[in-house]
C-alpha cells in the first residue's frame, strides 16, 4: 500500500453535537477503504464500557483505553494508517505531540472532543490541537432551552447550573449536562 501524507483532523463542539458519531463514521469509512485503523479513548471515560467509544445515539467501535497520551504511541501497530482518539479533551498536553508525531509518520489522525468546558472556556489541549490541525469541523447541538443552535455545554447539579468553581472534569451524560446556546448558558460565579 502506498504511503499517504499524514494529517490531523479535529472534530469539536459541545456535548450532544455528534462528535463521537462523526468520529465513528470516519473510522467506519476508513475500514471500508481497507485502512488499518486503531481507536483510543481515555480510561477516565467509562460511560459505555472500558474498551469502546460510543455515541449518545448508540453507535460504537472497539477502542483501546489509555491513561496518558504518550501511551498511545506504545500501542500503535506498524501497519496502522488511521488513528482515531475520542474525548481528546481529557488527555494531557502531550496529546498534541502524539498527534503530530503520528501525522508526521504518514498517518491520518482523527481527534474528537469538547472544545470548551462547562464554564465556556477552552478545554485542556483543545486550543493547541485546533491550531495545529489540518482540518477542523465544529459541530453544533440543539439548545435544550430554546431550540436554537447550541455551542456550549451546561453542567447541571440537582437541575441547576453548576458554579464556576466546581471541578472541571465530571464524566457524565444527559443526567449532568445539557447543550445550550450562548444566551442560555449560565455559569454562576463567572467573572467576566
The pLDDT, as a whole number, for residue 43 is: 87
The pLDDT, as a whole number, for residue 175 is: 74
- Exactly one of 87, 93, 100, 135 is catalytic; name it: 87
- Give the global pTM: 0.89
Exposed (0-12), middle (13-18) or buried (19+): which is 184, by Cβ within 10 Å? Answer: middle
The answer to the question of residue 182 being in a domain is no
The pLDDT, as a whole number, for residue 55 is: 56
87 is known as an active-site residue: yes
The pLDDT, as a whole number, for residue 2 is: 46
Query: In CATH, what number is assigned to the domain containing residue 127?
Result: 3.40.50.300
The answer to the question of residue 116 being in a domain is yes
pLDDT per position in the chain (192 positions), as tens?
Answer: 445 689 999 999 999 999 999 999 999 999 999 999 999 999 876 555 567 566 556 566 688 999 999 999 999 999 999 999 999 999 999 999 999 999 999 999 999 999 999 999 999 999 999 999 999 999 999 999 999 999 999 999 888 999 999 888 776 666 789 999 999 999 999 887
The answer to the question of residue 105 being in a domain is yes
Backbone angles phi, psi at 104, to 5 degrees: -65, -25
The pLDDT, as a whole number, for residue 42 is: 92
What is the C-alpha to C-alpha distance for residues 173 and 38, in angstroms, rounded to an integer? 25
**6 within 8 A of 133, measured Cβ to Cβ:** no
Please count the structural domains in the chain. 1
The answer to the question of residue 92 being in a domain is yes
**112 within 8 A of 85, measured Cβ to Cβ:** yes
The answer to the question of residue 187 being in a domain is no
Alpha helices in 60-112, H assignment, sequence order:
71-75, 94-104
In the block, cell 436554537 appears at 148
The answer to the question of residue 53 being in a domain is yes
3-state secondary structure of 10: strand
Residue-range definition of the domain harbouring residue 54: 7-140
3-state secondary structure of 9: strand
The answer to the question of residue 61 being in a domain is yes
What is the C-alpha to C-alpha distance for residues 120 and 133, in angstroms, rounded to an integer? 21
The pLDDT, as a whole number, for residue 109 is: 98
What is the C-alpha to C-alpha distance for residues 106 and 12, in angstroms, rounded to an integer? 23
Which are the contacts of 179, defined by CB distance < 8 A and separation ≥ 6? 14, 15, 16, 17, 141, 142, 143, 144, 150, 152, 153, 154
What is the C-alpha to C-alpha distance for residues 99 and 110, in angstroms, rounded to an integer? 9
The pLDDT, as a whole number, for residue 191 is: 84
The answer to the question of residue 27 being in a domain is yes
Amino acid at each position: 500500500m502506498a504511503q499517504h501524507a499524514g494529517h490531523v483532523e479535529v472534530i469539536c463542539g459541545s456535548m450532544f453535537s455528534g462528535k463521537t458519531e462523526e468520529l465513528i463514521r470516519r473510522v467506519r469509512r476508513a475500514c471500508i477503504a481497507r485502512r488499518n485503523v486503531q481507536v483510543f479513548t481515555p480510561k477516565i471515560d467509562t460511560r459505555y464500557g472500558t474498551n469502546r467509544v460510543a455515541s449518545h445515539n448508540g453507535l460504537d467501535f472497539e477502542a483501546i483505553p489509555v491513561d496518558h497520551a504518550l501511551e498511545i504511541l506504545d500501542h500503535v501497530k506498524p501497519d496502522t494508517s488511521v488513528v482515531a482518539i475520542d474525548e481528546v479533551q481529557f488527555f494531557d498536553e502531550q496529546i498534541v505531540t502524539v498527534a503530530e508525531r503520528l501525522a508526521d509518520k504518514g498517518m491520518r489522525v482523527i481527534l474528537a472532543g469538547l472544545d470548551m468546558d462547562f464554564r465556556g472556556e477552552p478545554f485542556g489541549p483543545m486550543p493547541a490541537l485546533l491550531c495545529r490541525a489540518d482540518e477542523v469541523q465544529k459541530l453544533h447541538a440543539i439548545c435544550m432551552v430554546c431550540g436554537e443552535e447550541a455551542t456550549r455545554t451546561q453542567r447541571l447539579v440537582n437541575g441547576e447550573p453548576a458554579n464556576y468553581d466546581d471541578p472541571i472534569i465530571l464524566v457524565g451524560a444527559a443526567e449532568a449536562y445539557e447543550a445550550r446556546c450562548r444566551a442560555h448558558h449560565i455559569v454562576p460565579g463567572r467573572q467576566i
